[in-house]
Amino acid sequence: MSVDTSTDAQTQHANVTINYPIDGLSFKVLIEASLNWLRTNQQIVNSLNVFPVPDGDTGTNMVLTMQAAFDEITNLPERNFGKMAHAVAHGALMGARGNSGVILSQIWRGFARSVDHIEQLNAETFAKAFAAARDTAYKGVVRPVEGTILTVIKDVASAAEIAMKHTDDPLVMLEEIVEAADQSVQKTPDLLPVLKEAGVVDSGGKGLFFILEGMLRYSKGLPLDVMTASVQPLASMQLDNTMATIEPGQDYEVVVDFKPDTPLNLEEFYHHLEELGTSIQLGEGDGIYRMHIHVPTEKRYLPIDYTMSLGTITKVAIENLMVQMEEMGGTEGGGKLNLSPVEAGQIGVIAVSPGLGISRVFASLGVSAIVEGGQSMNPSIQEIIKSIENLPTDQIVILPNNKNIIAAADAAVACTVKKAIVIPTKSIPQGFAAMLRLTPDGDLDEVTSQMNTALTDVITGEITRATRSVEIDGVTVQEGEFIALLNGKLILSANNIEEACLSLLSQAKAKDFELITLFYGKEMPKSEVNRIADLIRAKFPDQEIEVQDGGQPHYYFIISIE
């Protein structure tokens, strides 16, 4: 099988022809194809979030992990397949974000180990590489769960072993492998009840499917920039994530809300928008559609004209992406935080924080370094490593403050020679509680033991909006309602934010505690925060109520009960 890459406008390495056997340069082209196809379908993967909260970021994490892998090899003129695979694995490891990104990096790590020093890939080594990828991915997870990306890579490895018996061509094998991945993804709800309850397939498994399918599509000469036409719930659109991968030449972000006069033809709609720009998303709720696109300067008004031809426009937003990127670059730095200095021999703490207000609290408690991150913006392993290496001490404590960042923090620790320990904080309040046990001049093992003990001293509540209608854990949720999570578990939905807050505190038995602290998000007006705080004071008169500007996205309140 042979494919001339010059037919694909997306691929930068147009002088490479993929044929059997596959060398390093051919593998580079396939990696780029997988990245392009995954990015095209990024929002589909993001929308497969089990819980109806606005932080589905699996697609974003996997795209950024694959982007880091490709960045590592983009200028590498290596024909040795094994060496190219090792470069892919290294880039993926450094750029891995979130649980899905870390597992994906482990898949590439196992794959690369199996093909060490191999000049060219054939069917047998291809099958062995997927088997090694499976084994490494499973070993990298403390408690492997079936119905996830792990199941998909296992089924892919099995399909590769079977295909190897009747073909010598890896590209022929790839077709059977992709089919197996697709079938495996569709079966994930049967293996993981929470997926069936939410009515979705596993997002990480779906992302892996798109990675493999991108390679196959490229080998067949199929386009990699035509997204499967889909509509996501309006509340689940993650427009902040689109800032992470701004394409060259796409200078403006255009968002249009509109009511179509007739039923929307999705295929035609997407086809027209693809001629105008990139990063296309479409959401729908209560008859209102929201269209998102990145376009060059000269086309910034064309999406508006097009949607106007389909119906009535209710809202338009146009933003200069370059200006936004410049503003983002200076939000949390610039000397705004008074971080605690640390000397050699002392314990330095690195905390992951989703907002400037929360970062300031961490700084006041003695944190020496802040890594920006949280829901929908998980930091990479490399970013955490950089913070570790920048501190002038070899005794480090890391507070991930989010369950989806713990794996990346653990991986970062494995990459440093410093003595670094991860305290598995799953929330911001747990991070604060851990910091109250910090003794910079103490013994690292004793201090971290105390920090771990402190995690049970606090209860965490979170208030956000439901991104879709679903029933989970016996709680029926309608899209757009306010929902409350208690220690990460969905416990209730409500028609208004005050009911959500008061009901959460009642279920948390806040009357048995002393202090309730409200960290309000960047979308909350201060007047509304004060009104809700007064309602809480009236219902809980014996508790001390504090209000702090958290500055976090997506979550109206993060509530600490202690």
Burial 9-24 (b: 16+ CB within 10 A, else e): eebeeeebebebbbbb
545 or 249: which leads in pLDDT = 545
How would you classify the pairing of strands 544-549 and 515-520? Answer: parallel
Specify the pLDDT at position 237. Answer: 56
Chosen CATH of 247-320 out of 3.30.70.1140, 3.40.50.150, 3.30.70.260, 3.30.565.10:
3.30.70.260
Q: With 70 as the cut, is the pLDDT of residue 445 above it?
A: yes
Specify the pLDDT at position 231. Answer: 64
Q: What is the pLDDT of residues 321-372, one digit of tens each?
A: 766 555 444 444 444 578 999 999 999 999 999 999 999 999 999 999 999 9
3 or 517: which leads in pLDDT = 517
- pTM of the predicted protein model: 0.79
The average pLDDT across 127-141 equals 95
**What DSSP state is assigned to residue 97?**
B
Q: What is the pLDDT of residues 290-331, one digit of tens each?
A: 888 888 888 889 999 999 999 999 999 888 876 655 544 444
Average pLDDT, the chain: 88
Counted residue by residue, the chain has a size of 562
Q: With 90 as the cut, is the pLDDT of residue 251 above it?
A: no
Q: With 80 as the cut, is the pLDDT of residue 45 above it?
A: yes
Q: What is the pLDDT of residues 184-200, one digit of tens each?
A: 999 999 999 989 888 88
SS3 label, residue 441: coil
- Let me know: does 163 contact 10? Beta carbons within 8 Å: no
Using only C-alpha atoms, what is the Rg of the chain?
Answer: 24
Q: Cα separation of 105 and 93, whole Å?
A: 5
For every residue of 277-340, which 3-state class applies, written as one string? CEEEEEEEECCEEEEEEEECHHHCCHHHHHHHHHEEEEEEEEEEHHHHHHHHCCCCCCCCCCCC
43 or 94: which leads in pLDDT = 94
Provide the token pair at 499.
């009911």
Burial 303-322 (b: 16+ CB within 10 A, else e): bbebbeebeeeeeeeeeebe
Domain residues of the chain, as ranges? Answer: 2-219, 247-320, 347-444, 459-561
pLDDT band at 160 (very low <50, low <70, confident <90, very high): very high
Specify the pLDDT at position 68. Answer: 94
Task: Name the CATH topology of 347-444.
Answer: Rossmann fold (3.40.50)
Q: What is the pLDDT of residues 212-228, one digit of tens each?
A: 999 999 999 998 876 55
Q: What is the percentage of the chain residues whose pLDDT exceeds 90?
A: 65
Specify the pLDDT at position 514. Answer: 95
Q: With 80 as the cut, is the pLDDT of residue 5 above it?
A: no
Residue type at 558 in one-letter notation: I
Report residue 490 CA to chain centroid gap: 20
Q: With 60 as the cut, is the pLDDT of residue 88 above it?
A: yes
**What DSSP state is assigned to residue 14?**
T
Number of other residues whose CB lies within 10 A of the CB of residue 268: 11
Q: With 50 as the cut, is the pLDDT of residue 90 above it?
A: yes
Provide the token pair at 458.
């606090």
How would you classify the pairing of strands 482-486 and 489-494? Answer: antiparallel
Distances from the Cα of 174 to the Cαs of 85, 162, 258, in angstroms? 17, 12, 42
Specify the pLDDT at position 468. Answer: 80
Q: With 70 as the cut, is the pLDDT of residue 249 above it?
A: no
Class of the CATH domain delimited by 459-561: alpha beta
Q: Cα separation of 243 and 496, whole Å?
A: 30
Query: Is residue 149 within a helix (H) or strand (E), and if so which, with residue range?
Result: helix 149-164
SS3 label, residue 166: coil
CATH of domain 2-219: 1.25.40.340
Specify the pLDDT at position 366. Answer: 95
pLDDT band at 148 (very low <50, low <70, confident <90, very high): very high
